[in-house]
C-alpha cells in the first residue's frame, strides 16, 4: 500500500510528542517534514523538543521553526504550561541535538514540500494554525496543492480554555478561520472525541515493556501526565495522536460532514468552532468532523504502531 506523505505542524507538547513518535513508526505514513509553532509553550521550546525527539530516535527528517505568536495578539501569551510543563515535555529530558533546524522557516518548508509532492502532501496540524494560515496568505495556490488537512482542534460542544473554545483554535482563531475557509479537504478531530482518547497505567506498562527508546520516551511522558492527573490535572488524553490516527487508521473514528467556521468576534465565544449541526446556514459542508471514537481500536493502533520501534 502507498504510504501517505505527511507534514506534521505541531507545538510539542506532551501529547504532540506522542503523536510524532507514532507518526515516525506508522507503517502507512511517511513523515516528510515537521514544522513548529508557538502554542503549548513558545516556539523556541516546541522546536527544540521536536528536533531533539526526532534525532534521539534516529530520524533525519527536517524540522523547521515557525511562528512566534498568533496572527492577532489577543492575550499575553497562550501557553499551556500547567499541562505540559515550562518547556513542553513535563519533566522529561531528551539529549540535546547538535543538528541544525531546516534553513527554511516553517511557512517556506510547508510550501516547498507541497510543491515538491505536487498534490500528494497531507498535513497533520496539531497546534495553533498560524503557520498554515501564513503559508496560505503568501501562497494562495497552496490550497490546491495540499491533498488533505487533519486538524486537532475545536469541538462540536464545549471547550477546554473557555466554555466554548478549544486550545489550538483559541490560540489563533483568525488563522483557524482562514484555514477552514481555504477549501482544502479537511478533517477536524476535536474535544468531543479526544477527551475520550484516554490512556492508563496499563498502557504505560506496555510502552515500557517494548524496551525501545521510543517506548521508554512515551512511557516517561505518560508517567509525567499521570502525576499531573493525580495532582488534579487532566486524564492521559491523546488529543494529537488521535488526529494522527484519523489519517493513519480512519476506522478509529466516526465522522459527520458539517459547515464549520470560527468565531472571531464574540466577547465570550472567541475561538469557538461554530458547526452547522442543524444544517440551517445554507452553506455546503466544508469539514469532516470526528464525532465518535472506537477507543479499543485506537489504543490497539497506537500500541501496535509504537511497537514497530526496534531500537
Q: How far is the CB of 84 from ligand BDR (least distance, A)?
A: 6
User: CB 169 → ligand BDR: shortest distance, Å?
Assistant: 8
CB 258 within 8 A of CB 276: yes
Residue of 76, 3, 78 whose CA lies nearest to 46: 78
- Which residue in 139, 239, 272, 283 is the catalytic one? 239
CB–CB of 191/166 below 8 Å?
A: yes
DSSP letter at 162 equals B
Name the binder of 264 from Ca ion, ligand BDR, none, CB < 5-8 A by kind. Answer: none
Pick from Ca ion, ligand BDR, none: which does 263 bind, CB < 5 to 8 A by kind?
none
Residues that bind Ca ion (CB under 5 A): 11, 13, 16, 126-127, 240
What is the number of other CB atoms lying within 10 angstroms of the CB of residue 227?
12
- Taking the C-alpha atoms of residue 165 and residue 209, their distance in angstroms, rounded to an integer, is 37
Q: Give the whole-angstrom CA distance, residue 226 versus residue 180.
A: 34
Of residues 145 and 225, the one with the C-beta less far from Ca ion: 225
User: For the chain, what is the radius of gyration of the CA atoms?
Assistant: 18
CB 306 within 8 A of CB 210: yes
Residue 36 interacts with, from ligand BDR, Ca ion, none (CB under 5-8 Å by kind): none
Quick one: 16 or 261, whose CB is closer to Ca ion? 16
Nearer residue to ligand BDR within complex by CB, 83 or 187: 83
DSSP 218: H
State the sign of the Cα–Cα–Cα–Cα dihedral 104, 106, 111, 115. positive
Least distance CB 292 / Ca ion (angstroms)? 22
- Nearer to ligand BDR by C-beta: 67 or 152? 152
Minimal distance in Å, beta carbon 13 to ligand BDR? Answer: 4
Choose among Ca ion, ligand BDR, none what residue 167 binds, the Cβ cut-off being 5 to 8 Å by kind. ligand BDR
239 catalytically annotated: yes
Grid cell in block for residue 147: 491533498
> How near is the Cβ of 141 to ligand BDR at its closest, in Å?
28
Residue 212 contact, options Ca ion, ligand BDR, none, Cβ 5-8 Å cut-off depending on partner type = none
Tell me if 294 sits within 8 A of 253, measured CB to CB.
yes
Residues whose CB is less than 8 angstroms from the CB of residue 185 and which lie 6 or more positions away in sequence, other chains included: 147, 148, 149
Q: Please, which residue, 107 or 124, has the CB nearer to Ca ion?
A: 124
- Binding stretches for ligand BDR (CB under 6 A): 13, 15-16, 40, 80, 83, 126, 152, 160, 166-168, 239-240
> Catalytic residue positions?
239
Amino acid at each position: 500500500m502507498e504510504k501517505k506523505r505527511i507534514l506534521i505542524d505541531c507545538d510539542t507538547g506532551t501529547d504532540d510528542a506522542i503523536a510524532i513518535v507514532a507518526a515516525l513508526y506508522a507503517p502507512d505514513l511517511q513523515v516528510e517534514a515537521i514544522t513548529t509553532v508557538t502554542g503549548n509553550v513558545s516556539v523556541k521550546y516546541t522546536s527544540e523538543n521536536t528536533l531533539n525527539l526526532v534525532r534521539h530516535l534516529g530520524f533525519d527528517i527536517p524540522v523547521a521553526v515557525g511562528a512566534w505568536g498568533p496572527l492577532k495578539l489577543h492575550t499575553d501569551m497562550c501557553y499551556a504550561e500547567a499541562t505540559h510543563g515550562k518547556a513542553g515535555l513535563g519533566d522529561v529530558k531528551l539529549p540535546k541535538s547538535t543538528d541544525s533546524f531546516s534553513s527554511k522557516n516553517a511557512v517556506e518548508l510547508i510550501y516547498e514540500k507541497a510543491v515538491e509532492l505536487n498534490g500528494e502532501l497531507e498535513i497533520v496540524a496539531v497546534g495553533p494554525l498560524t503557520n498554515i494560515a501564513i503559508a496560505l496568505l503568501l501562497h494562495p495556490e497552496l490550497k490546491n496543492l495540499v491533498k488533505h488537512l487533519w486538524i486537532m482542534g475545536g469541538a462540536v460542544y464545549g471547550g477546554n480554555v473557555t466554555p466554548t473554545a478549544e486550545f489550538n483554535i483559541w490560540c489563533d482563531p483568525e488563522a483557524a478561520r482562514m484555514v477552514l475557509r481555504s477549501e482544502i479537504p479537511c478533517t477536524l478531530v476535536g474535544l468531543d472525541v479526544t477527551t475520550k482518547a484516554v490512556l492508563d497505567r496499563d498502557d504505560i506498562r506496555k510502552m515500557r515493556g517494548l524496551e525501545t527508546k521510543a517506548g521508554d520516551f512515551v512511557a516517561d511522558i505518560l508517567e509525567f501526565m499521570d502525576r499531573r492527573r493525580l495532582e488534579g490535572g487532566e486524564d492521559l488524553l491523546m488529543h494529537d495522536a488521535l488526529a494522527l490516527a484519523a489519517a493513519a487508521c480512519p476506522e478509529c473514528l466516526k465522522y459527520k460532514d458539517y459547515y464549520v467556521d470560527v468565531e472571531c468576534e464574540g466577547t465570550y465565544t472567541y475561538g469557538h468552532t461554530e458547526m452547522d449541526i442543524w444544517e440551517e446556514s445554507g452553506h455546503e459542508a466544508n469539514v469532516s468532523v470526528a464525532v465518535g471514537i472506537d477507543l479499543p481500536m485506537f489504543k490497539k493502533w497506537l500500541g501496535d504502531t509504537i511497537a514497530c520501534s526496534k531500537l
